[in-house]
Copies of this chain bind each other. A is one copy, B any other.
Amino acid sequence: MSILSLSLAFLLLFHGTCLALRPFQQTQNQCQIQRINALEPNERVEAEAGFTEFFDSGDQQFQCAGVEVIRHHIQPQGLMLPSYINTPLMVYILQGRGYQGIMLPGCPETFQSSQQAEERGFQDRHQKIRHFREGDMIIIPAGAAHWMYNDGQEEIVAIVMLDSTNEVNQLDQFHRRFFLAGNPKRSGQETPEEGSGNIFRGFDLQMLSEVFHVDQETASKLQSPDDTRGHIVMVERGLQVVRPPIRIQGPANGLEETFCSARFTANINDVSRPDFFNPEAGWTTYLNSFKLPILQMVQLSAERGVLYNNAVMSPYWMTNAHEIIHVTRGNMRMQIVNNEGQAVFDDMIQEGQVVVVPQNFAVIKQAQEQGCRWISFRTNDNAMMSTLAGRTSAIKAMPVSVLMNAYQMSPEQARSLKNNRMETMMFNPRSRY
């Protein structure tokens, strides 16, 4: 009973956020794509302790999907300054580890320093801090301020998908980042100039001083007019925060939590817990709102996919979502086919490249010699995949006589089409022939 009530409250809470619709314009026939190219970043913004790469938001395939993709590189002891954005984010940690804060308005400061720490002069109390590591997918709601710190030994590489056409974004058709600190360069700028400041720059200094009840020197530091470090800054002796020892998070069911303790992270890189596994072909893990309830709020999902050498993924289409695929290791050949039976993409996609598969377009993926790994973002929190070959495919679901008549085949041919491939999702052609 109380669980049900809570779940209702949960639904209500999410609705409030989800249903607030202010749609933004997309230019007409955005997905009438005749040709898709594998994309690499076309711009880079440097900072003291790292850099961010931008994929071209104006490219037709991103316009079709209504999303943007960027990639952060954060050096060890690098701190990405706090900021918030008008779109929800999915952040995939491709490499490295660290921790981050997502500031939720009205939630309590639950992390407080121990008595020993206070005796040593270190005293603090702040909101929850979340560890992350390679393979984590982090969800950041629209408008939520957040920062990120690298406390590991290697560079953090984070692939970020920004869902510009999400209904919670009522502001703009592209993402806009509001910095709470620093004086960062922006994409498209050569040097830090007027107009690239953080939000405190726009306020009157005297008023800031009154509001925070601090002296003018402190208030002027909020505005940081002379900061040249950029959006990722170096923390000289490492960041000191209150935090528990690192451990891998256990499963959650989404009902015992309130919004303040909601889970924003899940690891999808663990080969020991895949959703699909074929020892000869590869494995995949899905992350949708049944696993991570916050995804219902942002209406997005993801897949981590691995194909072993030469393995093939069953041809499929997504029934209700676009798919944004970023290859993270190796490469694969992809064919993407539109409703006129034409291949709009028939090429290799290499490590570090991105391709968008529009909703309903049919796809085949085949890994090359060294195999292939990718992360795929999907524009629906329960994106559904319909396969064409294998045990759970549309072809298998049809009666033999429908296949015979549709394809003008003999009964034997129709049966072989339906039954020869009994694996579910991935095959290794070589191991079967």
State which of B31, B340, B386 has its C-beta within 8 Å of the C-beta of A195: B340
Interfacial residues of chain A within 106-153, with CB under 8 A of chain B in the complex: 106-107, 109, 124, 126-127, 129, 141-145, 147, 149
State which of B28, B104, B166, B405 has its C-beta within 8 Å of the C-beta of A233: B405
- Is A13 in contact with B82, judged by CB distance below 8 angstroms? no
Task: Write the nearest CB–CB distance from A25 to chain B, whole angstroms.
Answer: 5
- Is A408 in contact with B141, judged by CB distance below 8 angstroms? no
- Is B221 in contact with A407, judged by CB distance below 8 angstroms? yes
The residue on B at minimum CB distance from A288 is: B16
Interfacial residues of chain A within 212-227, with CB under 8 A of chain B in the complex: 212-215, 217-218, 221-222, 224, 227
Indicate whether A79 sits within 8 Å of B212 (C-beta atoms), given known contacts A203-B315, A386-B145, A399-B242.
no
- Is B337 in contact with A203, judged by CB distance below 8 angstroms? yes
Which of A27, A401, A408 gathers most chain B CB within 10 Å?
Answer: A401
- Is A299 in contact with B21, judged by CB distance below 8 angstroms? yes
- Is B25 in contact with A28, judged by CB distance below 8 angstroms? yes
Q: Does A368 contact B (CB under 8 A)?
A: no
Q: Does A17 contact B (CB under 8 A)?
A: yes
Task: Write the nearest CB–CB distance from A365 to chain B, whole angstroms.
Answer: 10
Q: Does A158 contact B (CB under 8 A)?
A: no
State which of B217, B222, B417 has its C-beta within 8 Å of the C-beta of A212: B417
Q: How long is the Cα–Cα vector from A198 to B400 in the complex, in angstroms?
A: 19
Given the complex, which residues of B lie within 8 Å of A170, measured CB to CB?
Answer: 31, 65-66, 320-322, 359, 379
Which of A109, A359, A427 gathers most chain B CB within 10 Å?
Answer: A359
The residue on B at minimum CB distance from A15 is: B296
- Is A429 in contact with B341, judged by CB distance below 8 angstroms? no
Q: Render A43-77 as a binary contact track against B, CB cut-off 8 A, 1 for contact.
A: 00000000000000000000011100000000000
- Is A195 in contact with B342, judged by CB distance below 8 angstroms? yes
Q: Does A171 contact B (CB under 8 A)?
A: yes
- Is A394 in contact with B343, judged by CB distance below 8 angstroms? no
Q: How long is the Cα–Cα vector from A291 to B66 in the complex, in angstroms?
A: 34
- Is B17 in contact with A320, judged by CB distance below 8 angstroms? yes
Q: Does A26 contact B (CB under 8 A)?
A: yes
Task: Write the nearest CB–CB distance from A105 to chain B, whole angstroms.
Answer: 4
State which of B28, B101, B312 has its C-beta within 8 Å of the C-beta of A211: B312
Q: Does A294 contact B (CB under 8 A)?
A: no
Number of chain A residues close to chain B: CB under 8 A:
166
Determine, out of A90-98, A172-180, A263-271, A347-355, the stretch whose residues face the partner at the interface.
A172-180
Q: Does A282 contact B (CB under 8 A)?
A: no
The residue on B at minimum CB distance from A109 is: B397
- Is B398 in contact with A211, judged by CB distance below 8 angstroms? no
- Is A212 in contact with B406, judged by CB distance below 8 angstroms? no
Determine, out of A4-12, A245-253, A324-332, A369-377, the stretch whose residues face the partner at the interface.
A4-12
Indicate whether A11 sits within 8 Å of B11 (C-beta atoms), given known contacts A21-B23, A202-B362, A222-B407.
yes
Q: Could you list some 21 contacts between A and B, CB below 8 A?
A: A7-B8, A12-B296, A20-B321, A21-B167, A28-B173, A64-B171, A66-B170, A79-B406, A105-B394, A126-B400, A142-B319, A171-B360, A178-B362, A181-B407, A196-B341, A200-B341, A202-B341, A203-B343, A204-B364, A210-B433, A221-B409
Given contacts A127-B397, A178-B362, A210-B312, 18 further A-B pairs with CB under 8 A are: A21-B165, A22-B26, A22-B66, A23-B24, A106-B392, A109-B396, A126-B398, A143-B384, A145-B394, A181-B406, A182-B406, A195-B340, A200-B341, A210-B433, A212-B417, A214-B416, A221-B413, A233-B405
